[in-house]
Structure 1
Amino acid sequence: MRTKPAMPNRFRRLRTPLLVAAAAVSLSACIGLGGKTPPFLLTLDAAATPSAGAARTAADASTLTILIPTAPQKLRTTRIPVQQDNSSVTYVKDAQWVEAPNRLFQRLVSETVSASTSRVVLDEGQYLTAPGEQLAGQLMEFGVDARTGEAVVVYQAMLVAAGGKTVSQRRFEAREAIGGEVEAKLVGEALTRAANKVASEVTGWLGS
């Protein structure tokens, strides 16, 4: 068995502070040292929610599975984008969602459809082999248009029939005035109103 050559003293002296520095960098990356924690986290509240205790039954092909929409890079964060012009984006100060906006929007649409129709609505993690109809799409805008002072939600929906025999598409858009400065609480409220409008229109498009 070969023995490893002894490390020179000067290298041993250098190694310890380097390891400490590396550990400090890793720790700060994990817990966000130096970053400002927002005073509160935002979420979306559905205007319509399913009644507690209501039971529904459907054959496999009659269910509706609502998938988490895809999103562009600017929405793949818990922060709220502000479109300053055609080429520049900033983010609302101290505003942060509790989770990614496309996941919040998917849950909002699911609750709205369940509350307003007789459909059996499934999450993409719930179906097994026969998801029935599937509602997919892209959340194209979910933020602030600084040029108009409005919260904007744009959803490109795609409804795939059971078995994938037909595909229907429709674009939904809603705008709500922020009604003041672009700050976290007002923006969150305006985006909630706009998102509920879109969810209601999507529900009407899907039918009962």
Structure 2
Amino acid sequence: MPSRLRTPLTLALGALLLSGCVSFGGKVPPFLLTLDADAAPTAGEARTASDAATLTILIPAAPQKLRTTRIPVQQDDASVAYVKDAQWVEAPQRLFQRLLSETVAARTNRVVIDEGQYLTAPGEQLAGQLMEFGVDARSNEAIVVYQAMRVGAGGKTVTQRRFEAREPIGGRVEAKPVGEALTRAANKVASDVAGWLGN
């Protein structure tokens, strides 16, 4: 065998043998989904607030079915499946927290800070639970349910409120229409939360 052909052939055989021994995870979906905020803070805008007037939006807690990058489909009261070939770029509760922060900062005059900055400016907090973030197969809708908990500076007051939004999928339960419907529903919830926090 000529030497100029031996190296590529050897590499190809080596890769083939390696692929039989090592698993690189499941099948990669054709694309990854994310959430885009309808509203975002204006670039270059500066805001000032005292420590007590800042707002920290925490990553919400979530049930086990949402602690994955896959999108759950509630078939009935007792069974859950997942949308085929649909996957978020990261955990949905983190995506939702980021979208919520962007929306609140854009639609209110609040100074919104990251969790990692809380110790330097321990003002008001928004915690909560992302209770639903998927598909209701019975109604063919995307559903987002967020149980918010507003904790006053110093933890002296706590107020809870539940937010819910549903958006029709408008077709088969597939990655792209489901992702688009969930983005609309998430933005609706985030806008309602911003209206509540702005009062």
TM-score for both structures, normalised by structure 2: 0.88
- Conserved 8 A contact 2:143-2:165: yes
- Following the alignment from structure 1 to structure 2, what is the Cα–Cα distance between the partners of residues 54 and 102? 27
- Conserved 8 A contact 2:37-2:103: yes
Structure 1 match to 2:187: 196
- Conserved 8 A contact 2:39-2:103: yes
- Conserved 8 A contact 2:57-2:126: yes
Question: Which of residues 34, 59, 75 in structure 2 aligns to 1:68?
Answer: 59
CA displacement at 1:57 relative to structure 2: 0.9
RMSD: 1.6
Residue aligned with 1:68, SS: coil
- Conserved 8 A contact 2:110-2:198: no
- Following the alignment from structure 2 to structure 1, what is the Cα–Cα distance between the partners of residues 120 and 151? 15
Q: Note the residue ranges of structure 2 that are not aligned, 5 or more in a row.
A: 1-20
Structure 1 match to 2:115: 124
- Following the alignment from structure 2 to structure 1, what is the Cα–Cα distance between the partners of residues 165 and 104? 18
1:170 equivalent in alignment to 2:178: no
- Conserved 8 A contact 2:126-2:151: yes
State the Cα deviation string for residues 119-159 of structure 1 (Å, max 9, x = none): 10011112224320000000000000000000000000000
Residue aligned with 1:168, SS: strand
Residue aligned with 1:82, SS: strand
Letter in 2 for 1:177: P
Structure 2 match to 1:207: 198
- 1:9-48 correspondence to structure 2 within 5 Å: 24=21, 27-28=22-23, 31-32=24-25, 35-48=26-39
Letter in 2 for 1:58: A
- Conserved 8 A contact 2:109-2:198: no
1:144 equivalent in alignment to 2:135: yes
Residue aligned with 2:89, SS: coil
- Following the alignment from structure 1 to structure 2, what is the Cα–Cα distance between the partners of residues 41 and 142? 16
State the Cα deviation string for residues 39-88 of structure 1 (Å, max 9, x = none): 00000000001100001111111100000000000000000000000000
> Percent same amino acid among aligned pairs?
82
Structure 1 match to 2:85: 94
State the Cα deviation string for residues 155-182 of structure 1 (Å, max 9, x = none): 0000000000000000000000000000
- Following the alignment from structure 2 to structure 1, what is the Cα–Cα distance between the partners of residues 197 and 118? 19
Letter in 2 for 1:200: S
- Following the alignment from structure 1 to structure 2, what is the Cα–Cα distance between the partners of residues 63 and 106? 16
Question: Which of residues 40, 45, 67 in structure 2 aligns to 1:49?
Answer: 40
Letter in 1 for 2:172: E
Residue aligned with 1:71, SS: coil
- Following the alignment from structure 1 to structure 2, what is the Cα–Cα distance between the partners of residues 95 and 131? 38
